[in-house]
Amino acid sequence: MNPSDTDPPAEVGLREAFGFWLKLGFISFGGPAGQISIMHQELVERRRWISEQRFLHALNYCMVLPGPEAQQLATYIGWLMHRTWGGLVAGGLFVLPSLFVLIALSWVYLAYGELPAVAGLLYGIKPAVTAIVVFAAWRIGSRALKNAWLWAIAVAAFVAIFALHAPFPLIVLAAGLLGHLGGRYLPERFAIGGGHGQGAARPGPALIDDDTPTPAHARFSWPHATRVLVVFVALWVVVLGALSLAFGWSAVLTQMGWFFTKAALLTFGGAYAVLPYVYQGAVEHYQWLTGPQMIDGLALGETTPGPLIMVVAFVGFVGAWTHAVFGPDALFAAGAAAAVIVTYFTFLPSFLFILLGGPFIETTHGKLQFTAPLTGITAAVVGVIVNLAVFFAYHVLWPAGLEGRFEWPAALIGAAAAVALFGLRIGVIPVVLAAGLLGLVWQLL
């Protein structure tokens, strides 16, 4: 029963919140924009657990951080309402449903991917994913590239990764430095504008309203910050150390833990931004999977709830399966273990950022000073995503190389997907499903 428009809602227990966060984990399709929209509708407008201003304050902080902002926003609100356990429940349930779904889909892909029906579905989905990546570049670029300076950063990032094969972390560092300098000397060119729906009518009083005092557990203190940091460093060291002792430092599972820790700290701009780095490491350096398999993984990730960065679970599953890290008779166990390990190291920093930085953000309630470097990084991300689209298009349209056959059916499916996304504004899930059906029909014919 909804509260009246004039009274704040009743106190919400952790059990009731658990039910909501579990439901959100299963319905959080549509990427970060869709996921944030769902949370805004449910938490700000319908349930009124948190006010618009406090919601946006938390969102602005999460957008500055590396990592999936929607998952971090859920963690932040859960923590603000119900302390550490609330944050762990909210952030964990945002991820766990998609982890289990991706483990199942990865197994089907590897065990039955050669069947005509499965191969046909993937044949159609791959060009649709290429169109989706182009659409993501356009969507981010239309918001981020507001002047010639930011366009220059985007073009430079594309040239750096496409022609010079510069490592993704170096591109992020250089773009952040340029953003910092731009914010100092050209502040009007590197200012982030626009809110997130501030023009909407204000709902009634919220449980955590604009003037609600910061809860005791959300106030910043150095002893608390030190404890949180020590606990998370211990969680990282113990698990990575256990993997190293059990399998060796150079073993697949240990290197996955180390690599995806680094990836988690570089996901400025969302999953599409970090995918080139994951490709560089997982495909080119470690050779855990092939380029076409990476495209297939992104296709599966687009069709599951949760943050798109969960595609890393597919990368881990395929890498451990193909390398038979537990032996040839335990391929599924190896893949599932790797998916869990990769997910652990990918999301551990996200929880740290919220539980460590959240009290500081709640205490200050001022404007963040990190937006100019973020603006530079976001501009570079556009160029990096365009490079990813070029890579996908090459492997989809010329799977045997430029000297091989051009896949005109895939090109037609990709063009149709682009029209659906750009022109008709159809959602990602229907586009992926329709493209898979077209691929299946073509393969069967």
Domain that holds residue 157: 14-191+221-444
Identify whether 209 is part of a domain: no
Identify whether 196 is part of a domain: no
Identify whether 244 is part of a domain: yes
Residues 393-405 as b/e (b if ≥16 CB within 10 A, e otherwise) read bebbbebeeeeee
As a whole number of angstroms, the distance between CA 22 and CA 100 comes to: 13
C-beta neighbour count of 27 within 10 angstroms: 13
CA 394 to each of CA 127, 290, 293: distance values in angstroms, whole numbers, following the listed order: 10, 14, 14
Indicate whether this model's pTM tops 0.85: no
Identify whether 347 is part of a domain: yes
- End-to-end CA separation in angstroms for the chain: 53
Identify whether 149 is part of a domain: yes
Q: Enumerate residues 6+ apart whose C-beta is below 8 A from 397.
A: 127, 406, 407, 410, 411, 414
Count the domains in the chain. Answer: 1
Identify whether 371 is part of a domain: yes
Q: Enumerate residues 6+ apart whose C-beta is below 8 A from 399.
A: 292, 407
pLDDT given for residue 193 in this prediction: 47
Q: Are 367 and 144 in contact (CB under 8 A)?
A: no
pLDDT given for residue 371 in this prediction: 64
Mean pLDDT by 10 residues, the chain (445 residues): 66 93 81 74 89 80 80 96 96 95 92 78 83 80 84 93 83 86 83 46 78 88 95 98 97 97 78 77 93 84 80 96 96 98 96 94 59 78 83 83 85 93 83 88 84
Identify whether 396 is part of a domain: yes
Identify whether 392 is part of a domain: yes
